[in-house]
Amino acid sequence: MEPNDSDSPSTPPFTPSPPPFTPPPTGPRRQLRRPLSGRVLTGASAGLANYLGVDVALVRLAFVLLALLGGSGVACYLAAWLLMPEEGADHSIAERLLGRAGGA
C-alpha cells in the first residue's frame, strides 16, 4: 500500500509559539525597615513582617519559638534590631555604632 497524498499533510502541523516575554510589573522597591508605628519593642518583627508580606504575629511567634528552642531567636532579634534601619533613617544602629554613618 502506497502512502496517499491526502493522508500526509504537505505542511507541518501548526504549533503555536509562546508569547513574548514580558517582565513582571515593577512597583516601588521594598525596603527592610523598622516602622515607627505598629511596634511592640523595637519594630524588628513588624519591619520583617512588612517586608515579607506576612502577619506580624507569625514573625513574633517565630522569634519566640527560636528563643525557646535554643536561644537563637534572641540573637536573631538583636541582629535585626541592630542591622535594620528605622523608618526615615539612612543608617542602622550598627552603622552608627561602628562610625560608618557619617562617612567616617
66 inside domain: yes
Q: At what angle do helices 44-52 and 56-68 cross, to 10 degrees?
A: 120
65 inside domain: yes
pLDDT of residue 96 exceeding 70: yes
Residues 6+ apart with CB under 8 A from 87: 33, 34, 35, 36, 43, 47
1 inside domain: no
DSSP state at residue 17? P
50 inside domain: yes
String of DSSP letters for 32-59: --B-SSS-SSSSHHHHHHHHHTS-HHHH
104 inside domain: no
48 inside domain: yes
Residue range 1-59, pLDDT digits in tens:
555 555 555 666 777 777 787 777 777 777 888 888 878 888 899 999 999 999 999 99
Enter the pTM of the model: 0.64
Please state, in angstroms and rounded to a whole number, the distance separating the CA atoms of residues 59 and 34: 13
Full residue range of the structural domain in which residue 52 is found: 44-97
| Cell numbers linked to 77 | 532579634
17 inside domain: no
The number of distinct structural domains making up the chain is: 1
Residue range 52-93, pLDDT digits in tens:
999 999 999 999 999 999 889 999 999 999 999 998 888 898
